[in-house]
């Protein structure tokens, strides 16, 4: 899979993309990540990428021209399955969406900033707007990082333990069971006996019960789906 990220702040991505699972996915050549500075596609001497909104109002609007040039240059090099705009008013991102998106070969993530992007970017280029939650971030970069991370970890081969990504919270609309490691007794707080029993069947039953209890207590909306 290849992900191209269009942003005004490419430096924000270096730490996140250079560590942990994302770094591993890239090193294993299971994922290609490319960031593009939208400012590189401006043509004026001040590299202006935003302007005042027509009709007035607070905040600046990201201009269509540099974004269009950047998108079109990338499209001239390969075919893209989808162009996603990071926006608080977009489709809510969740595990199902991550699973769907991870099947695609080439995608672009466009990071909005300021008051938003010129609406014609949506009309002419964007396949779908995506939101990572009902709150407003100062830009789409953190959303693009979250989405990239969620996609990378479910690409087959990225996580060594093939079953691990499948048993994540949300993967079956249930939250995960609690997990424990050594010591079995920390200041009198003991790991549940069943986990030390060696009885795989009992352990599996206990985990399922914990998942159901946890989901009922914290996210009953998931059980009603």
CB of 171 to ligand ADE, least distance (A): 22
Q: Is 183 a binder of ligand ADE (CB under 6 A)?
A: no
The SS3 assignment for 3 reads strand
Q: Is 137 a binder of ligand ADE (CB under 6 A)?
A: yes
> CB within 8 A of 148, min separation 6: which ones?
3, 5, 16, 17, 22, 33, 109
Q: Is 101 a binder of ligand ADE (CB under 6 A)?
A: no
Among 37-45, 99-107, 125-133, 162-170, the segment contacting ligand ADE (CB under 6 A): 125-133
Provide the 10 A C-beta neighbour count for residue 161.
Answer: 8
Among 2-10, 51-59, 84-92, 157-165, the segment contacting ligand ADE (CB under 6 A): 84-92
Q: In this chain, which of 140, 145, 159, 215 binds ligand ADE, going by CB under 6 A?
A: 140
Helices (H) and strands (E) in the chain, counts: 8, 9
Can you tell me the distance from the alpha carbon of 99 to that of 147, in angstroms, rounded to the nearest whole number?
11
Q: Is 115 a binder of ligand ADE (CB under 6 A)?
A: no
> CB within 8 A of 151, min separation 6: which ones?
1, 3, 31, 98, 101, 102
Nearer to ligand ADE, 17 or 84 (CB): 84
How many residues make contact with ligand ADE (CB under 6 A)? 12
Q: Is 1 a binder of ligand ADE (CB under 6 A)?
A: no
Nearer to ligand ADE, 111 or 195 (CB): 111
CA nearest 95: which of 18, 31, 168, 46? 168
CB of 135 to ligand ADE, least distance (A): 6
The SS3 assignment for 101 reads helix
Q: In this chain, which of 35, 102, 106, 131 binds ligand ADE, going by CB under 6 A?
A: 131
Can you tell me the distance from the alpha carbon of 150 to that of 172, in angstroms, rounded to the nearest whole number?
15
CB of 118 to ligand ADE, least distance (A): 15
Can you tell me the distance from the alpha carbon of 186 to that of 164, in angstroms, rounded to the nearest whole number?
26
Give contact residues for ligand ADE (rule: CB under 6 A): 86-88, 112, 131-133, 135-137, 140, 143
């Amino acid at each position: 899979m290849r992900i191209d990220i269009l942003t005004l702040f490419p430096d924000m991505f270096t730490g996140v993309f250079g560590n942990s699972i994302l770094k591993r996915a890239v090193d294993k050549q299971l994922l290609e990540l490319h960031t593009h500075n939208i400012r590189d596609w401006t043509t004026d001497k001040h590299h202006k990428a935003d302007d005042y909104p027509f009709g007035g109002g607070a905040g600046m609007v990201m201009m269509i021209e540099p974004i269009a040039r950047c998108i079109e240059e990338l499209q001239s090099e390969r075919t893209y399955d989808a162009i996603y705009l990071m926006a608080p008013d977009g489709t809510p991102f969740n595990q199902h969406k991550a699973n769907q998106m991870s099947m695609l070969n080439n995608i672009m993530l466009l990071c909005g900033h300021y008051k938003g992007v010129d609406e014609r970017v949506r009309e002419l280029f964007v396949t779908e707007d995506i939101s990572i939650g009902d709150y407003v971030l100062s830009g789409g970069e953190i959303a693009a990082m979250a989405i990239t991370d969620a996609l990378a970890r479910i690409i087959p081969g990225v996580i060594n333990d093939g079953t691990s990504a499948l048993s994540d919270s949300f993967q079956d609309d249930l939250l995960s069971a609690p997990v424990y490691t050594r010591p079995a007794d920390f200041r009198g707080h003991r790991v549940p006996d069943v986990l030390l029993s060696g009885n795989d069947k009992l352990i599996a039953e206990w985990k399922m019960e914990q998942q159901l209890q946890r989901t009922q207590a914290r996210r009953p909306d998931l059980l009603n789906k």
